[in-house]
Structure 1
Amino acid sequence: MKRSLDRKTKIALEPRKQPRQQRSSKVVDRILDAALILTREQGTRTPTTLAIAQRAGLSVGSIYQYFPNKEAILLDLARRWLSSFPEVIAKRIKVPPPTTREEFRRDVRKLFIDTSRLYLENASLMPVIEAISGNADLRPIQNEYDDQIIALYAAWLKHVNRDLADKVANRLGMLVMEVGHACRLAGLKKDRRTYDLIEDDVETMWLALVTPHLNLD
C-alpha cells in the first residue's frame, strides 16, 4: 500500500466533493462502509473500486462522483480511524480523576480496552496508516491528529495531577502516544496472542512512565 500511494501522490487523493445533503452523506457512508468491510475481508489486498461499488450496491460512476480513485477512499477511511481516538481519550477527562494508583491503573485499563479495540477492528487499515506516516505529502494528515491526541493525553494527565507542568504533560503525552502506536503496529503483524502480550507490556511501560508524575497514593 505504501508503494502504491508513493507512486500516486500526484493524483488527487481528496474526495471530489463534500456531501451537503443527507442523501449524499448516506451514499458516502455506504461507500466507506463497503470499503472497510472489504479491507477487513481481504487483509493486505486492496479492494478495487468495482468491488467497493458492488458491495455498496452502487455503480462505479456513483463512486467516482465522490472519490477520484480507491486510494482516496482508503485515505478517507484512515482519516476516520484517526479521528476516533480523540473522543476515546476525552472520555477519561470527563470522569472524576483517580485519587489512588489503583484507581489510575483501572482508568488506564479502560483506555487500553477502548483504544485496543480501534486497532484490532481496523487492522487492515494499518498499511494505509503506515503509508501516510512514510509519505512527506501525506504525513501532515496524521500530524494533525497526532497533535490532537498528544494534547488530550496531556490534558488527561493534568486532570489527574493539576500541578503537573505543561511541558512535562506534553512530553509524557507524546511518549504515551508514540510508544503505544508503534508497539501496537508491531503486535498486529504477529498473532493475536503476541499482540495481547505486547499490549500488556505497553500498559506496564505507560504506568511506569507516568505514575511517578501524578502524586497518587
Structure 2
Amino acid sequence: METYKKLPLVNPYPFFYSKKSNDYLDMEDHLGKVDNYNKFISLWDKNLSVTGPLKNKIKRSREYKTWQKIYNGLSRSSLIDGYRCDGFPKLLWSDLIKEINDNRYHLSPNQTIFHGGYWPTTGIPTVGEKFSLNRPLSTTLNPDSALWHSKSDYDEEDRYRTYISLIILHVANDSNFCVHVYDNEKNENEMEVLIVPNATIQCQSITPIQLYIDPNFSKENKDELTCYLIESTIR
C-alpha cells in the first residue's frame, strides 16, 4: 500500500500592515488588518506596505519552516532547479515528475495556493469547467508573487488581451497529487510550489476586479486593467 505524507497547512491570516509607509507598526491606530487573501488582493495595487508583512508572516510561520526543512533535507537532482530555467526540455518532464512523485509529499486539504496566469483552455473558464494538468504547474503560497507574474506577463507577452487573471487553488479533501517546494535562497518572494501533471482543476467562481496599472509599467498606458479572480478546487 502506497503511503503519502501531508505538508502542514500554511495560513498566514490575519496579519497587520502599516497604512502609511512612515507609520510606526506599534501604533495600533495606524495599522490595518488583513483577514484573508481577498482583502490582500483588494489592497495589493493601492498600498505596497501590505506585501512585506504577508511575505514575512508566511516565511516565519512554523508550518512553512517545516516545509523548507523537509525539502532542504531531500536529495534532489539538477532537474528540480533546472525546471525553473527557460528552455527546460520537454523530454525530461517524465524524469522530473517521477522524482517529485517518489518523494510522496502532498498538500493538506484546504491549503490555498495561487497561479498568476490564464485558464489554459479558454483564457476565462465557465463555472464548473475543469481540466487536467498535462505539464507541471508552478504555483505559490504568496498571492503577491502570482499577481506580479500575471501583471508582468501581460505587459511583456500578452498585450493583445484586455485582462489578466489570478487562479486561486483550494486543495480538495480527496486530492492525491504530489508537489515540490522550492527553497527561497535565490527568490525569497516566490514561495514556489510545483505541482505534477495528474491533478485536476475545476472552476468554482469568477470575480472581475479592477487593478491599477502604473502608466510607466504598461505599454498600453492603461490606468486600470481587469483581473479575473478564478476560484477553483484542485484534486
TM-score, normalised to structure 1, is: 0.28
Greater Rg, structure 1 or structure 2? 1
Larger fraction in strand: 2
TM-score, normalised to structure 2, is: 0.26
